[in-house]
Amino acid sequence: MAKKSMIVKNIKRKQIVERYRDRRFELKKIMKDSKSSMEDKISARMKLEKMPRDANPNRVRNRCVVTGRPRSYYRRFGLSRITFREMALKGQIPGVTKASW
């Protein structure tokens, strides 16, 4: 089980990313646009740098919904490998069965 503070910190990061998503997208669009002037690109870069560090989506960590474990995370299920195995063997994940051939 992950520390509660780490789980809460990650949730706050997700909220900050969502809040700044549109602004970041617009600034990045200006920076990548070949038609915009160099001054516009520089000002967009400065505005992007002044945004909170946690507004960057790369800082969000995928975590298991049940345990908060950050490693070996299966996106399709939102679970870590350990939790996935336990729930699959108990039959709590619909459509998942143990392989046999």
pLDDT score of 18:
96
pLDDT tens readout for residues 35-75: 989 999 999 999 999 999 999 999 999 999 999 999 999 99
pLDDT tens readout for residues 84-101: 999 999 999 999 988 888
pLDDT score of 1:
80
The tokens describing 26, both together, are 């617009």
In the chain, the domains with their CATH numbers are: 1-61 (no CATH), 62-95 (4.10.830.10)
pLDDT score of 5:
92
Residue 81, classified by CB atoms within 10 Å of its CB into exposed (0-12), middle (13-18) or buried (19+), is middle
pLDDT score of 17:
95
Structural element, H or E, at residue 38: helix 38-50
Would the pLDDT of 2 be above 90?
no
